[in-house]
Amino acid sequence: MKSPVSLLLAGTLATIGTSAIAADQAPAYTPLRPTSQCLRPDRINEWYVVDSRTVIARTGPDHYLVKLQAICPHLGIEQSLRFRPNPSNKAAGMGALCGEAGETVTSRDQPPCGVQSVAKIDKAQFEQLSTTAIKHGNPP
């Protein structure tokens, strides 16, 4: 028969392990702030799919790095890429991507890919990442 102390210790360890696993699976969002600094899809001049989890975009003088939650192998098919704000930002008329829950990037033959984060980068970083991109395009 096990002692109450060993049962308590085993239960505590199981709870800690379950919490750590849940924390690894849940995406942590740190939205870009202030919202005036967020990526506005209607202002994108060019975009690049760097790899299946990374997209970069330029809006005039501003450059953005968009990290996705999962692998999205079909992004940029036929030079098509759409950036979708979350429903609350869309309803508020903002339409920007800040790295919040519910934001997606999609293209033809690719289900929506959840956005993990959006960050501003400098022109040099943008140019360096664009040289290794697998796909690119310019919105109409």
The predicted-structure confidence for 48-63, as pLDDT tens digits, reads as follows 999 999 999 999 999 9
- pLDDT single digits (tens) 5-34: 554 444 444 444 444 444 456 567 789 888
Measured distance between the N- and C-terminal CA atoms of the chain, rounded to whole angstroms: 72
Structural domain including 95 reads 35-137
Give domain status of residue 26, yes or no. Answer: no
Asked whether residue 41 is assigned to any structural domain, the reply reads yes
Q: What is the pLDDT of residues 91-130, one digit of tens each?
A: 766 789 999 999 999 998 889 999 999 999 999 999 999 9
Q: In total, how many domains does the chain have? A: 1
Dump the DSSP string for 33-98.
SSGGGSB-GGG--EEEEEETTEEEEEETTEEEEEEESS--TTTTGGG--EEE--HHHHHTT---B-
Report yes or no on 4 lying in a domain: no
What is the pTM for the complete model shown? 0.78
Three-state DSSP at 105 gives strand
